[in-house]
Every structure is written in C-alpha cells, then in structure tokens.
C-alpha cells in the first residue's frame, strides 16, 4: 500500500467557540489514515495461506461444507449463460422453455433483460426527438 502524504507538523484542526470542529476541519490531519483497519487487514491477509491450506485439506477429506463454500465462491452467480443464436425472437425463447433447454426462471430473467434494453432504446429515441424539437423551436424563435 502506498504511503499517504504526511500533514504538516504544526497542523491543528480549527474549532469553534464551543470546542466543536469547524466545517471541513476533522480531527485527523489531511492525508492521514486510520491505522487500526489497515493493521487488521494486514493481519487477516497474513492468514490467507493458512486458510487456503485448511480449506484444501477439508476438501480432500470430502467435507461437503468446504466443497460447497468453494463452489459458491467460484461459480458465477445468477445462473448460467444461455446461447440464443444471436436472434431476438421471442418465439425462440418460448421454444427453448417448452423443450426444456432453459428453465422458466431463466426465461423470466431473459425477458426482463430484453424489456429493459428495449425501454432504454426507446428512451434514447425519445430524447433524440425532444432535442430535435427543441432545436426547431429555438430556430423558429430567432
């Protein structure tokens, strides 16, 4: 981790009449970092080799919780990739569901994704039309 720049030796936060910090004047000098989280992170990182060794030993002993942990951490979340042959045909999706190629949940996620993409494209088109109308109105006013 790169070192942060050190604050001037004579730096002191400004306080108001009641002893509270003034706005923008925290208790820590500019550029300084809290050392406790940094030390904790270093301590945890130093244990990573040991933890990986223990995990490997548990997997070698066929420990299902360890195997499940590794699979949960390594497999992609949200399901699998579905190949749709590059077409945006809803009938292709329906056929894929009925043939068992994709699950109904996958169908729902794909359909929602398509709807979001279509909505975004329509919004982009509407914005372009509004910009064009504003240009026409401003040209008519001149």
What is the Cα–Cα distance from 43 to 118, expressed in whole angstroms?
Answer: 49
pLDDT, residue 74, reads 81
Predicted confidence at residue 88, as pLDDT, reads 65
* Residue 86 confidence (pLDDT): 65
Q: Give pLDDT, residue 87.
A: 65
Ranges of the chain with pLDDT below 70: 1-11, 26-27, 30, 76, 78-79, 86-88
CA dist., res. 84 & res. 91, Å (int):
11
d(CA 49, CA 40): 16
**Per-residue tokens: 121:** 């494209």
C-alpha to C-alpha distance for 34 and 26, rounded to whole angstroms: 13
Distance (Å) of CA 124 to CA 87, 119, 128, 141: 22, 9, 6, 26
The whole-number pLDDT of residue 75 equals 76
Q: How many residues does the chain have?
A: 142
* pTM score: 0.39
Tokens of 7: 């604050």
Cα distance between residue 11 and residue 30, in whole Å: 9
CA distances from 136 to 122, 132, 133, 141, 142 (A): 21, 6, 5, 9, 10
Q: What is the pLDDT of residue 3?
A: 47
Q: Give me the pLDDT at residue 59, please.
A: 93
């Amino acid at each position: 981790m790169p070192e942060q720049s050190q604050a001037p030796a004579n730096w002191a936060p400004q306080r108001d009449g009641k002893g509270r910090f003034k706005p923008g004047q925290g208790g820590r000098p500019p550029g300084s970092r809290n050392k406790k989280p940094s030390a904790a992170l270093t301590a945890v990182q130093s244990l990573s080799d040991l933890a990986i060794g223990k995990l490997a030993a548990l997997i070698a002993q066929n420990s299902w919780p360890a195997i499940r942990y590794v699979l949960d951490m390594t497999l992609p979340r949200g399901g699998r990739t579905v190949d749709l042959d590059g077409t945006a045909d809803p009938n292709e999706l329906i056929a894929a569901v009925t043939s068992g190629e994709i699950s109904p949940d996958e169908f729902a996620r794909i359909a929602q994704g398509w709807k979001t993409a279509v909505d975004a494209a329509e919004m982009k088109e509407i914005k372009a039309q509004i910009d064009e109308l504003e240009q026409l109105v401003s040209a008519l006013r001149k």
